[in-house]
Structure 1
Amino acid sequence: MPVPLSPTTAQERIQSLDLLRGIAVLGILLMNVQSLSMPGAAYLNPTAYGNLEGMNYWVWVLSHLFADQKFMTLFSVLFGAGMLLVSDRMEQKSQSPLTFHLKRNFWLLIIGLVHAYLIWYGDILVVYALCSFLVFWVRNKSPRTLLIIGLLVLSIPTLINLFFSVSLQFMPPDVVEELELGWHPSPEMIAEELAAVTGSLAAQIAHNAQAALEMHTFVFVVLFLWRASGLMVIGMALYKWDILTASRSTSFYRKGMLLGFSIGIPLTVYGIVQNFHAGWSMDYSLFTGASFNYWGSLAQSFGYLCAVMLFSKSAAAAGIKRRLAAIGQMALTNYIAQSIIGVFIFYGVGLGLFGQVDRTTQVCITLGIWMLQYIWSKPWLDSFRFGPLEWVWRSLTYGKAQPIKKS
């Protein structure tokens, strides 16, 4: 039997991971709701569409400062740790971790493709599945080596941005114009996107598929491949160091939280100030201006991680922790449910409110979805072993329907 990673029981160790995963999947919606409800350019460039004054301005600033890339970072770190956890369990059972890993992530890829091309293009599951096939091979490295590999891989998008920033002046004018239109679309382009998303089902699927294909080709190569893979490898290191299971001392987590916030928050704030100072120009904000939050989110997410581990170790709010952990145990179901609810609210197949909801109202909708998932996840798991989509994923992986009801 392997040595336990924590003095607590296996169930408690899992709860600390699920607690972090539950908070991460809720936090992701703070940013995903922007893509679900507004033209795509508004996600990266807040001046591209909609009102950015008064409360809308502060909603954007606070969501960028406290949510943008932070919760996706946690989710990616947890995915890497989960790969290692599953691999360890397979080896413990004298089964091939490679075979199980390939089957498990192949079916995750299929679920992600359905989600991305038929529901919402902002899916991250396809990225995770593809990166997992590469990351798996470094799992047996030491934590220190994993951390170094992860940071080096994470650096590649920054180098790519630097290359584009320096070479922008040498690019053909039509290429620069295309980048500019992607960053700040014309009124005609905005109108076309609004019509596609709120139009017929065929128009919505065509628009969604085109956006998803771009995500899985160009954006994947220049950003997601490196960011997701690097964070997964770092997640493996953190798991091996017992940091993700609330096993380290309270002092360790307090210092980690202070260090993460003291580095991450000032970096992100500086990036916000600089981007507004530059007028959110494409040549600055798309490349150099994006780097501050890119790296600030890494440090800030570590601060969040340490804060959640402190919460997990404490005796306070046991009922709240159980409900948040239940959300995490059903992360796949809750993640895709967020997309389905968002599509119903904003797309033409539902209420068709795409482009009509300001950033302040988006937060209210997010809070409502949070409450639904907070309320429903634990009662479901009181009666069933898995969330609905977790059951589908598990059954496909094992090649037969798994028992779902609790005896």
Structure 2
Amino acid sequence: MTQTKARITSTIPTDRIVSIDVLRGVAVLGILIMNIQSFSMIQAAYINPIAYGDLTGINKWIWILSHLLANEKFMSIFSILFGAGVVIFTSRALEKGRRAGPLHYRRNFWLFIFGIIHAYLIWYGDILVAYSLCAFLVFVFRKLKPTKLVIFSAAFFIIPVIIYLFFGFTIQYWPQESYDQNIQSWLPSVENIENELAAMQGNWIEQMEVRVGSALFMQTMVFLIFTFWRVVSMMLLGMALYKWGVLSARHSNKFYIRMVLIGLILGYAVVGFGINENFRANWLMDYSMFIGNQFNYVGSVGVALGYIGIVMLICKSVKFKGFKNLFSSVGKMAFTNYILMSIICTFIFYGHGLGLFGQVERSFQILFVIGIWVLLLIISPLWLRYYNYGPLEWLWRVLTYWRVQPMRKRN
């Protein structure tokens, strides 16, 4: 392929790693298990289950299972895959005679723009802005050996733990005003709850006060204290795992079985212990916000690695062809499906649509999750039967390469 032609087209759809597509499909669907709570309930309920809604009987067990199985687990996988994607994208660009740096930064500049649109016009819980900003940094690590990548990953990973533990052990010395501000985000007053309910059950313009304020808070304070360090850590880990061949199903079944057992046993044990301790503390902010939640922060990585091992075993098997085809299709359209989930959920729960915000208990939220999963598992392979890329994947490629990409399949 000549250098001129290489600049015109991006990675062709057949030049893909199936196991990564399948894993990405699992991850993008899995994050909805937790995100549905943000779409359907007040913000505080996501981090503090006693802040809003019934938490007894089946509702309590649904929360426990979603927290144990999903919270930060699928987002960790998504971040790991993004890091692997940086290595894949830049190495293939170099192989085809392109300048990897300018393409990488242009690609993530446009991801930042997509994220801003998503966060401020659709849903404040956007992760694309954080990914794009973190990608600007992790690019410089891409040539390191896997062992060094893991060391840097661990260094970034530990920073939020130190920050939160410091807050937790010094909270008794905080000024009363600072303490009161934090308690309102952890356990909001009836008045604040009613204000948020009224805004999100209102029209699109009326929602802006909550959406803009929340998005800005997540992209500044939360990003600097938590998201940046966690996401960079997982991206660097993803680079290492890809270079070791873990994400491309190159290792033996024995390797992945060991990965599953160690990851899930240790991960679930740590996360489960944290859940128990938080309930024992009655979700008191002084403990749960800064100390109790660290168990899930740490344990979620083990669970995520266990899930990766399960998917790799499935991909290595000659069976499960239907599963692999369905989830790889969802994974190939992960960007489109991520935004589509936001559009669907905000229509269901916000006032410009069905207006069910604050009215759906946790036990029924999971039914919406399953329904959306089924929808995406149907429409993704149908779309890719006729087109090379998902709509947003295509647009992202056009903006990255500054050339129109072949959208419709020739056959």
TM superposition score normalised by structure 2: 0.96
| Structure-2 change in CA distance of 1:112 and 1:197 (3 Å) | same
1:13/1:246 contact within 8 Å kept? no
Corresponding residue for residue 237 of structure 2: 234
Aligned counterparts of 2:395 and 2:14: Cα–Cα separation in 1: 23
Q: Deviations for 1:129-156, whole angstroms, at most 9, x for unmatched residues?
A: 0000011101111100000100110110
1:298 aligned to 2:317? no
Q: CA deviation at 1:396?
A: 1.1
Task: Report 1:180-195 matches (<5 A).
Answer: 180-195=183-198
Q: Which of 395, 402, 405 is the aligned partner of 1:402?
A: 405
1:178 aligned to 2:181? yes
Aligned counterparts of 2:219 and 2:372: Cα–Cα separation in 1: 27
Q: Secondary structure at the match of 2:21?
A: helix
Q: CA deviation at 1:402?
A: 1.6
| Structure-2 change in CA distance of 1:13 and 1:399 (3 Å) | closer
Corresponding residue for residue 7 of structure 1: none
Aligned counterparts of 1:59 and 1:296: Cα–Cα separation in 2: 19
Corresponding residue for residue 341 of structure 2: 338
- Structure 1, gaps ≥5 residues long: 2-9
Corresponding residue for residue 161 of structure 2: 158
Aligned counterparts of 1:267 and 1:248: Cα–Cα separation in 2: 27
Corresponding residue for residue 387 of structure 2: 384
1:264/1:300 contact within 8 Å kept? yes
Q: Secondary structure at the match of 1:286?
A: helix
1:221 aligned to 2:224? yes
Greater mean alpha carbon deviation, residues 166-175 or residues 242-251: 166-175
Aligned counterparts of 2:264 and 2:66: Cα–Cα separation in 1: 15
- Aligned residue identity for 1:190: I
1:26 aligned to 2:26? no
Task: Report 1:4-403 matches (<5 A).
Answer: 14-403=17-406
Aligned counterparts of 2:356 and 2:255: Cα–Cα separation in 1: 46
- Aligned residue identity for 2:264: F
Q: Secondary structure at the match of 1:298?
A: helix
In the alignment of these two chains, the number of paired residues is: 399
Q: Deviations for 1:177-214, whole angstroms, at most 9, x for unmatched residues?
A: 11111100001000000011111221112321110000
Q: Secondary structure at the match of 1:401?
A: coil
Aligned counterparts of 1:106 and 1:290: Cα–Cα separation in 2: 32
Aligned counterparts of 1:201 and 1:11: Cα–Cα separation in 2: 41
Identity percentage over the alignment? 49
Q: Secondary structure at the match of 1:287?
A: helix
Aligned counterparts of 2:14 and 2:311: Cα–Cα separation in 1: 17
Aligned counterparts of 1:118 and 1:52: Cα–Cα separation in 2: 31
Q: CA deviation at 1:11?
A: 5.2
- Aligned residue identity for 2:54: N
Greater mean alpha carbon deviation, residues 313-322 or residues 73-82: 313-322
- Structure 2, gaps ≥5 residues long: 2-12
Q: CA deviation at 1:12?
A: 8.7
1:246/1:310 contact within 8 Å kept? yes
